A and B are shown apart, each in its own frame.
Chain A
Amino acid sequence: NAGVTQTPKFRILKIGQSMTLQCTQDMNHNYMYWYRQDPGMGLKLIYYSVGAGITDKGEVPNGYNVSRSTTEDFPLRLELAAPSQTSVYFCAISEEMNTGELFFGEGSRLTVL
């Protein structure tokens, strides 16, 4: 029971390249989230999903896209990477809708040069 698995753990991109950060959960939770963490800052919500086929924007969605075709997977796509997207990305899940009790993956560190 791994919980939340994120891949890759590290990646360096060139400006304008695209990539997908993968997030897979084995806890059968409906609610999944993508956060980004910048140095000295709190986490900011990018996108979230309340179930397969349903996604919505968070606080900082620009430059990102998501999909949720299954309960288990919630990939985050960067289409045209920019230096401002250099960050650590965390996928999280929750069992309940309104508690705020999140279970995070280990993170994916992305650098855009």
Chain B
Amino acid sequence: GQQLNQSPQSMFIQEGEDVSMNCTSSSIFNTWLWYKQDPGEGPVLLIALYKAGELTSNGRLTAQFGITRKDSFLNISASIPSDVGIYFCAGREPGTSYGKLTFGQGTILTVHP
């Protein structure tokens, strides 16, 4: 099936720093989503993107739907300790529905106070 390449695999940053991560695919997607997973919990939706070029913010988080429709980016500004967790990108291919998403492998974020 479709594969998503998410990078970096892990990040260790200082509190207050900005964070960038991205996700690329070999084929186009109609939808890109970013989820965060805290330890022992299920993923929680952060941002959903539905149009190529779309730039959407949610507090300190900003995500973009790449113009080629094959990539997406997530930025976190002024990181804080509670940003720690695993961030997953997910995409939906044209012709699929019902929440049949393809997930990236995740980016593990560690924030040092």
| Chain A residues proximal to chain B, CB less than 8 Å | 4, 31, 33, 40-45, 48, 50, 56, 58-59, 90, 92, 94, 97-107
B31 at interface by CB-CB < 8 Å: yes
Q: Evaluate whether A90 and B100 lie within 8 angstroms (CB atoms) in the complex, with A42-B4, A99-B48 already known.
A: no
Complex Cα distance, B46 from A100, in Å, reads: 12
CA distance A50 to B98 in the complex (A): 7
- Distance A100 CA – B48 CA, assembled complex (angstroms): 8
The 10 closest A-B pairs by CB, nearest first: A42-B103, A104-B42, A43-B103, A100-B92, A98-B97, A100-B31, A94-B99, A104-B43, A90-B42, A100-B101
Interface residue count for B (Cβ, 8 Å)? 28
> How many Cβ-Cβ contacts under 8 Å join chain A to chain B?
76
A86 to B23, CA, bound (A): 27
Known: A43-B88, A99-B31, A100-B31. A48 touches B43 (CB 8 A): no
B105 at the interface (CB under 8 A from A): yes
**Contact assessment for B90 and A100 in the assembled complex, using a CB-CB cutoff below 8 Å:** yes
Residues of B within 8 A of A45 (CB): 99-101
17 cross-chain CB contacts under 8 A: A31-B99, A42-B88, A42-B90, A42-B102, A43-B101, A48-B99, A90-B42, A97-B98, A98-B92, A98-B98, A99-B48, A99-B50, A100-B90, A100-B99, A102-B101, A104-B43, A107-B42
